[in-house]
C-alpha cells in the first residue's frame, strides 16, 4: 500500500492489480512477457516500484507508476518477499542470501548465503528480524545471528515497538515477545490455537496485533478465525467478525496496512478492507467578558456534540479525527466561532 488510496496487489498468472481509490475500482497492469506467479510488489513512491517473480531469476522495475516495466536480473533465483523499510530501502529475501537495496532496487548488497526466509520487519531502533522455514529466525542488530524458534514455517513477523512483537506460523500458532526477540528465549507461545493456518500479522493504529490466515471451518468453508486480533500484546487472541465471502474457501494469504486502513488478501479473488475510526481529544477553556452570566451555562457545539464547561471554564470532548466548527454561545453574550482540526 503506497498511501491511503493507492494499493498494488500481485498473484498468479502474471497478475498485478492497482487501485487508486482505496479499493472501489481496480485496474489490471501488465508485467513481463510470460505467465508466472508474481510474489510481491512494493512502491517506493508514486513512480518507482519493483515486482518479484517466482522462479525465473528476474524482478521487474518501473519508474513511471507501472505503465512500463524493465526486467532486471535478480540476485536470488527464488524470491519470497520484498520488504520496503524506507522510501529508498528494501530487503529481498527467499532461498539464499539476504539482499539489501538503498537506491530503490537498482543495486543489491548480499548478506549470508544459506537462508530460507519469507518475511522481515525493521524496528524503529534499526534492528531487523527475518523469519522463515523450519522456525528459522535471523536477527540483525549491527551483527548477524540466527536461532530456531520452533519446527514450523514462520510466515509473518511484526512489532508494535522495539520490544513488543508477534510471529505467526503455518501451523496456526503464534509467539509473542516483550523483550525484543533477539533470542529464542525471548519468545513465548500464545494461548490461542484456533485457526488452520496463519499467514501474516500487522499492527493497527491502536497498537493491537491483527493476524490473517485460513478459516478453521471444514475445508475453510466458513470465516471462523480467518482474521484474529490480540489486544494484550499477543498473549490472547479473539476472532474478528467478517462477512461470509461470495466464493469459498476463505484463505487469506496476506494482510496490509496504511495508517488506519487495512486490506486482507486471499485466494479466489478474496479482498477485504477495513478502516478504523480514529479519535482525538479537544480540550480548552472558556471565559466570560463581563456580565452576570454563569460560565457553566455556556453551550459549546462541536459537530453535533454539545458540552458545557466546568465551573472553572475548562471543557473536554472526544471526537472522530477531522475538521470541525466550534461555536460557544450564551444568552446576553456575542457568539464565538472558529474552525479547528482534530
Q: Which has the closest alpha carbon to 94: 110, 109, 79, 113?
A: 79
Higher pLDDT, residue 104 or 216: 104
pLDDT > 90 fraction of the chain, expressed in percent and rounded: 50
Note the pLDDT of residue 13.
Answer: 66
- Say which DSSP state 277 is in: P
Closest by CA position to 241, among listed 226, 257, 231, 258: 226
In this prediction, residue 266 carries a pLDDT of 76
pLDDT above 70 (res 83): yes
Q: How many CB atoms lie within 10 A of CB 64?
A: 11
Distance, in Å, from the CA atom of 203 to the CA atom of 139, rounded to the nearest integer, reads 20
Determine the pLDDT at residue 190: 95
- 71-81 pLDDT per residue, tens: 888 888 888 88
Q: How many CB atoms lie within 10 A of CB 55?
A: 14
Q: What is the mean pLDDT of the chain?
A: 87
Q: Is the pLDDT of residue 152 over 90?
A: yes
**pLDDT class for 217, splitting at 50, 70, 90?**
confident
Q: Rank 37-46, 56-65, 115-124, 276-285 by mean pLDDT and report only the highest.
A: 115-124
Amino acid at each position: 500500500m503506497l498511501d491511503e488510496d493507492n494499493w498494488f496487489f500481485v498473484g498468479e498468472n502474471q497478475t498485478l492489480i492497482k487501485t487508486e481509490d482505496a479499493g472501489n475500482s481496480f485496474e489490471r497492469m501488465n508485467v513481463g512477457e510470460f505467465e508466472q506467479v508474481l510474489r510481491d510488489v512494493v512502491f517506493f513512491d508514486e513512480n518507482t516500484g519493483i515486482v518479484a517473480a517466482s522462479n525465473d531469476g528476474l524482478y521487474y522495475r518501473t519508474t513511471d507508476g507501472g505503465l512500463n516495466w524493465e526486467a532486471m536480473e535478480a540476485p536470488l533465483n527464488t524470491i519470497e518477499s520484498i520488504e520496503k523499510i524506507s522510501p529508498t530501502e528494501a530487503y529481498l529475501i527467499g532461498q539464499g542470501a539476504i539482499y539489501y537495496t538503498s537506491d530503490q532496487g537498482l543495486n543489491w548488497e548480499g548478506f549470508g548465503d544459506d537462508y530460507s526466509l519469507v518475511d522481515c520487519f525493521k524496528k524503529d531502533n534499526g534492528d531487523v528480524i527475518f523469519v522463515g522455514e523450519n522456525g528459522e529466525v535471523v536477527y540483525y542488530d549491527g551483527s548477524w545471528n540466527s536461532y530456531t524458534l520452533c519446527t514450523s514455517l514462520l510466515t509473518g513477523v511484526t512489532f508494535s515497538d522495539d520490544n513488543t512483537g508477534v510471529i505467526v506460523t503455518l501451523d496456526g500458532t503464534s509467539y509473542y515477545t516483550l523483550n525484543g526477540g533477539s533470542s529464542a528465549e525471548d519468545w513465548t507461545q500464545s494461548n490461542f490455537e484456533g485457526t488452520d493456518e496463519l499467514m501474516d500479522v500487522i499492527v493497527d493504529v491502536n497498537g493491537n496485533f491483527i493476524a490473517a490466515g485460513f478459516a478453521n471451518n471444514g475445508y475453510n468453508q466458513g470465516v471462523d478465525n480467518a482474521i484474529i486480533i490480540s489486544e494484550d500484546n499477543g498473549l490472547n487472541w479473539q476472532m474478528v467478525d467478517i462477512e461470509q465471502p461470495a466464493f469459498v474457501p476463505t484463505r487469506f494469504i496476506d494482510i496490509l496496512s496504511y495508517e488506519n486502513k487495512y486490506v486482507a488478501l486471499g485466494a479466489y479473488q478474496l479482498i477485504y478492507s477495513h478502516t478504523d475510526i480514529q479519535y482525538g481529544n479537544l480540550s480548552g477553556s472558556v471565559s466570560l467578558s463581563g456580565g452576570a452570566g454563569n460560565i457553566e451555562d455556556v453551550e459549546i457545539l462541536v459537530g453535533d456534540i454539545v458540552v458545557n464547561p466546568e465551573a472553572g471554564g475548562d471543557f473536554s470532548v472526544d471526537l472522530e479525527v477531522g475538521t470541525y466548527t466550534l461555536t460557544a454561545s450564551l444568552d446576553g453574550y456575542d457568539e464565538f466561532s472558529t474552525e479547528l482540526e482534530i
